[in-house]
Amino acid sequence: MTTWNEYVERNGTIPEWPYPIHYNKENEITTDVLILGGGVAGCHAAISAIRNGVKVVLVEAGHAKRGGSGGAGVDHWHGALTNPCSKVAPEDYTNAIMDCAHGYSNGIARYIISKEGWDTLLECEEMGVQIRDVKDEFKGADFRDEETKLMFAYDYKSRHVIRIWGYNIKPCLYNEMKRLGVEIYNRVVITSLLTEGGKQGGKVIGATGVNTRTGEFYIFRSKATIVATGGASRLFRFAPELTAASSMYGMNSTATGHAIGWDAGAEFVLMDQSGPGYFSGFGYAPYSMGNASNTYHGTPIVDANGKEVPWCDPYGRELKTVQERFLPSPGQRFQLGIGIRLYYYLDEYRLNDLTKDLPERIRKGEFTLPLYADLTRLPELERKCIFGMMVGNEGKTRIPIYDQFTKAGFDPDKDLLQTPIMPPEAYQNSNYWDGMNMPHIRNLSGGGFLVDWKLGTSLEGLFAASGVSIFGAGSHGESQTTGRYAGRKAAVYAKTVPRLTMDRRQIETEKARTYQSIRNNKNGVGWKELNYAIARVMQDYCGKYKNDLTLYHGLRLLNELKENEAATAYASNPHELGRMLECFSLMTLGEMIMQASLARKCSSLYLDFYRLDYPEMDPPEWQKLLPIRLEENKVRVRELPLDFHLKPPHASSYEENYKLHAK
Amino acid sequence: MFRPIVFNEEVCTGCNKCVDVCLMEILQPNPEKGKPPIVAYPDECAYDGACWMHCPLGEKGAIKVVPPLPMRVSILRGI
C-alpha cells in the first residue's frame, strides 16, 4: 500500500486531511534570537546562540531533524584549517579562494570559516558525530594521521579537508538543540520579515510564517534574527519524479530568506552570478553512476576494453601513480578541493583530474564507451573509504546508493561501476553522474546577503548564516561554521537592544497575501505548474547568455506571472499553500537575479556571466561588486570594490578584522 | 504513477516516525491506526531516505526508498 490513489481504490473514500486546519488563526511567539531555517547552519546558529544565554526559536519548513541540504549526511568537511595536521594557514586559504575567484567571493566569510571551521567540527564531535577513525578501520592509510586518527580528503599533504562520518550529523545537532531548550517550529514556511514601523529598510524585529499542516499563521517577535534558509534548487527546474532532479540540494529550499530579505530592503551581492549548470537535474542522482570527482576523487576510470584514462596534474603532466592523485604538484602550494562553491580555480590550487583531452580522445576512438569507474585499481583502504565510508555518509547516498547497490550485489573489490553514456564533450567534467551541463539550466550561485564582520546584513537586527544565504561562502562545513559565528553575534546583539512593537498593518497585509491562494477559485493553476513556468522564464530569459532586452522581457514575464497566474493560483490545503508561498519566493529570487544581471554591463569569466550586448570580458572598470537592494520598492545599485572588507571602515588585514569582531 | 516510497504492510506498524521526519512533507498518517502512512505527494519525494533512516523497522523492510526507474535502468533495475 503506498499512494493516495491506492487508498481511495481500496477504501472507496478519499482520506481526510489528517490535521485540523485553522487558516488565519494567529500564534504569537516571542524570543530573543529567531533563526529562520533549520538546516545545518540554522541548527548550529541556534546552539551557539542559546549557549550565549538567550532565548532561541528556530523555524523550519520541513523537519529540523533531517532538514536542509545537509540533513541526509555529509562525507567531508571544508574549512578545518586550524586542525593539528593542517599545513595551510587561514589567511593563505582565504587569499587562495579570493585569487581563484578573482575577488568575486566573500573574504569575510571565508576567513571566519577558516579560523573557526575546525572548532566548529570539534563541537560536532562533542555532540556525537564521528570525525576520526576511532575504530581504526583505515589504519595505515596515506589519508590518515596516526596520532589524531583524522582522515583527509583531496590533498593528503596539506590536510585541511577532513573526511567525516556525517551520516548522523543532523540528528546530533537536533538532539543538542532540544537538550539545550531551543524552541523548534517545524512545518512552518516563513513568509516575511517584520520591520520597525513596517518600513522597507527598517530594523528587523521578527517574521511571519504559515504551518503547512494546519494552515495557522505564526508571528515571531525577536530582537535579533538570523537568515539561514539556504539555496534554491527549484528555480531553474523541478522534476524529482523523473530524474531526482537537483536532489543534491534541499528540495525544500527556495531561498525564502533571499526573497523576504529583498522585500524588507536588505542589500545583496553577486546575484548576477547565477552559476554554471551544475546539478541541472537531467543527469543521475548524486554519485549513483561511475565518476571520478568529489567523493570519488582519485577513482580510476577505464574504458570498455579496460584501458585506463590517465590522471594529470593541473599543468597537464600525466601522473604515474595513484598516490600522486592526492598530492599537490610541483608549482602548487596546496589544493583547495571541491565543494566550496568556487567555480573557477587557478592551476596553482586546482585538484588533479582526469586528462583534459578525454572528450577528444573518445572521439578519435582511443577510448571506447562505455567508461567505468574501476575501484578495484585503488589501494584497498582508499577503495573501502570511497565506496564504504564516504558513500555511506554523504547526503542522499546512504540509502539509494550505498545500501541499494550493496543489496543488489555490487562489490567494489570485484565489480566496475558504469559511468553514464553521454556525448564526448560531457566527459570534460569528471562529475559524470551530473550529466551534461546545460547552459540554460543554472543555479542560484554565489549571490546572497552582503554581510559585515559580524555577519550582520545591511538591515539592523538581521544576520545571515549558511554557505548560500551569505554571498560567496561555501557548503556544508562553511554553513555550520558561519551558523555558529552568527549565532553568537546575534545573541550578543539581542542582549543590548529593546524589544520593539510590531506594526499591525504590516502583519495584516502579510496575512492577506499569505492566504490569497486558499481563497482563490479552484480553477487557478496549482503550485507545481507555476513553479515550472517560473523555471521556464529563468531558463529562457536568464540563461547563460543575456542582453538588456531578454532581461527586460524576463522581468516583464515574471511580473505578469505575479499579477495574473500567481495572483489567481489555487492551493487546496496547507501543504499546497506552503509550496505556493515558496513559488512566490522563487519569483522574487528570479527578479533579483535579473536586476543584478542588468546592472553588470560587461561579461565575466569568473561569474560565468555572458552579456551578448556587452561582450567585453572582465574589463578593469567593471571588476567590482554591485550591491543591490529595494528602496521604496525601487531597485538601487551601488558599487563596492572587491576588497571592500579590507578597506575603511574595516581594518586592512583579515586577522586584524577578526580580532576586532570575532569574540 | 511514481512510487518512491513503498511500505510493507506486514511489517509496518504505523508508528508514523517517517511522517514526522519527512523533509518534503509527502507522507500522511493513515486514518486507520496501525496501517502504513499514505504517500500523498509521491512526485515531491527528494530521495534523501530520512524516512528509512528513522524507521525502527527499516532493516526489516517496513519501508523502502525506490529511486525513479530512469535513474537506475542502466545499472540497478530490480531493487
How far is it, in rounded angstroms, from Cα A564 to Cα A555?
14
Which comes out higher in pLDDT, residue A536 or A442?
A536
How far is it, in rounded angstroms, from Cα B56 to Cα A233?
30
Binary contact (B1, A5; C-beta < 8 A): yes
Give the count of domains, chain A: 3
Is B79 within the bounds of a domain? no
Binary contact (B45, A241; C-beta < 8 A): yes
Instruction: For residue A10, name the pLDDT band (cuts at 50, 70, 90).
Output: confident
Instruction: For residue A509, name the pLDDT band (cuts at 50, 70, 90).
Output: very high
pLDDT of residue A280: 67
pLDDT of residue A442: 87
If you measure CA to CA, which chain A residue comes closest to B28? A18
Residue A391 and residue A402 in contact, taking contact as beta carbons nearer than 8 Å:
yes
| Nearest chain A CA: its distance from B6 CA (Å) | 6
If you measure CA to CA, which chain B residue comes closest to A289? B75
How far is it, in rounded angstroms, from Cα A362 to Cα A301?
13
Same domain for A81 and A147? yes
pLDDT of residue A231: 87
| Nearest chain B CA: its distance from A410 CA (Å) | 9
Beta bridge partners of A374: none
Is A83 within the bounds of a domain? yes
Q: Kindly give, in sequence order, each residue whose CB lies less than 8 Å from that of residue A344, ignoring residues fewer than 6 positions away.
A: A100, A101, A102, A605, A606, A608
pLDDT of residue A435: 84
At CA A119, angle to CA A118 and CA A125, rounded to 5?
90
Q: Kindly give, in sequence order, each residue whose CB lies less than 8 Å from that of residue A330, ignoring residues fewer than 6 positions away.
A: none
Same domain for A543 and A619? yes
Return the residue matching grid coordinates 512533507: B25
Instruction: For residue A281, name the pLDDT band (cuts at 50, 70, 90).
Output: low
pLDDT of residue A128: 97
Binary contact (A1, B36; C-beta < 8 A): yes
Same domain for A571 and A616? yes
Is B12 within the bounds of a domain? yes
Answer whether B14 touches A (CB < 8 Å).
no
pLDDT of residue A275: 72
Is A381 within the bounds of a domain? yes
- Candidates A399, A406, A416, A527: best to mutate against B (most CBs of B within 10 A) is A399
| Nearest chain A CA: its distance from B56 CA (Å) | 15
Nearest CB among A213, A244, A528 relative to B67 is that of A244
Q: Can you give the CATH number for the domain in which B30 is found?
A: 3.30.70.20
Same domain for A301 and A414? yes
| Nearest chain A CA: its distance from B8 CA (Å) | 7
Q: For residue B10, count CB atoms less than 10 angstroms from its CB and return exposed for 0-12, middle for 13-18, buried for 19 or more.
A: exposed
Domain that holds residue A106: 76-163+331-351
3-state SS, residue A577: helix
Sheet architecture: strand order including A417-418: A301-302, A372-373, A417-418
Nearest CB among A5, A288, A398 relative to B71 is that of A288
**A323-370 pLDDT per residue, tens:** 999 999 998 999 999 989 888 899 999 999 999 999 999 999 999 999
pLDDT of residue A461: 98
What is the ipTM score, two decimals? 0.96
Q: Provide mean pLDDT across the span A27-31.
A: 98
The four Cα atoms A596, A600, A606, A611 give a dihedral, to 10 degrees, of: 100
Residue A482 and residue A465 in contact, taking contact as beta carbons nearer than 8 Å:
yes
Is A326 within the bounds of a domain? no
Q: Kindly give, in sequence order, each residue whose CB lies less than 8 Å from that of residue A199, ignoring residues fewer than 6 positions away.
A: A265
In A338-401 the beta strands, taken as DSSP E runs, fall at 353-354, 372-373
Give the count of domains, chain B: 1
Is A474 within the bounds of a domain? no
Q: Can you give the CATH number for the domain in which A593 is found?
A: 1.20.58.100
Is B77 within the bounds of a domain? no
Same domain for A304 and A405? yes
If you measure CA to CA, which chain A residue comes closest to B40? A4
Q: For residue A331, count CB atoms less than 10 angstroms from its CB and return exposed for 0-12, middle for 13-18, buried for 19 or more.
A: exposed
Same domain for A369 and A301? yes
The pLDDT mean for chain A works out to: 94
**Closest-CA residue to A260 (of A186, A189, A191):** A191
pLDDT of residue A244: 64
Is A401 within the bounds of a domain? yes
**A65-117 pLDDT per residue, tens:** 999 989 989 999 999 999 999 999 999 999 999 999 999 999 999 999 999 99
A200 has pLDDT over 90:
yes
Binary contact (B35, A1; C-beta < 8 A): yes
Task: Write the CA distances from B48 to A44, A175, A244, integer angstroms.
Answer: 21, 20, 10
Binary contact (A240, B46; C-beta < 8 A): yes
**A293-311 pLDDT per residue, tens:** 999 999 999 999 999 999 9
Cell of A599: 546592472
Is A472 within the bounds of a domain? no
A18 vs B contacts (CB less than 8 Å): 28-29, 31
Is B15 within the bounds of a domain? yes
Domain that holds residue B46: 5-72
Cell of A437: 551541463
A511: left (phi over 0), alpha (psi -120 to 50) or beta: alpha
Is B59 within the bounds of a domain? yes
pLDDT of residue A4: 82
**A635-648 pLDDT per residue, tens:** 999 999 999 999 99
Domain boundary among A432, A457, A484: A432
Nearest CB among A1, A241, A528 relative to B68 is that of A241
How far out from the chain centre does Cα B28 lie?
Answer: 11
B44 vs A contacts (CB less than 8 Å): 240, 251
B63 vs A contacts (CB less than 8 Å): none
Dump the DSSP string for A466-489.
STTTBTT--SHHHHHHHHHHHHHH
Return the residue matching grid coordinates 512566490: A584
pLDDT of residue A269: 96
| Nearest chain B CA: its distance from A17 CA (Å) | 8
Same domain for A370 and A337? no
Same domain for A406 and A302? yes
Answer whether B79 touches A (CB < 8 Å).
yes
Q: Kindly give, in sequence order, each residue whose CB lies less than 8 Å from that of residue B59, ignoring residues fewer than 6 positions away.
A: none
Binary contact (B31, A396; C-beta < 8 A): no
A455 has pLDDT over 70:
yes
Q: Provide mean pLDDT across the span A514-529.
A: 96
Is A305 within the bounds of a domain? yes
Answer whether B40 touches A (CB < 8 Å).
yes
**Closest-CA residue to B58 (of B20, B3, B5):** B5
Is B78 within the bounds of a domain? no
pLDDT of residue A389: 92
pLDDT of residue A287: 87
| Nearest chain B CA: its distance from A197 CA (Å) | 35
Same domain for A546 and A597? yes
Residue A539's φ and ψ, nearest 5 degrees, are -60, -45
**A610-624 pLDDT per residue, tens:** 999 999 999 999 999
**A140-184 pLDDT per residue, tens:** 999 999 999 999 999 999 999 999 999 999 999 999 999 999 999
Q: Provide mean pLDDT across the span A200-221.
A: 98
Q: Provide mean pLDDT across the span A430-450.
A: 87
Nearest CB among A1, A241, A404 relative to B2 is that of A241
Is A67 within the bounds of a domain? no
Which comes out higher in pLDDT, residue A288 or A314?
A314
pLDDT of residue B79: 60
Side-chain half-sphere CA neighbours of A253 within 13 A = 30
pLDDT of residue A246: 59
Same domain for A366 and A421? yes
Same domain for A578 and A514? yes
**A560-611 pLDDT per residue, tens:** 999 999 999 999 999 999 999 999 999 999 999 999 999 999 999 999 999 9
Residues of chain B below pLDDT 50: none
How far out from the chain centre does Cα A1 lie?
Answer: 35
Nearest CB among A63, A288, A408 relative to B23 is that of A63
Same domain for A340 and A360? no
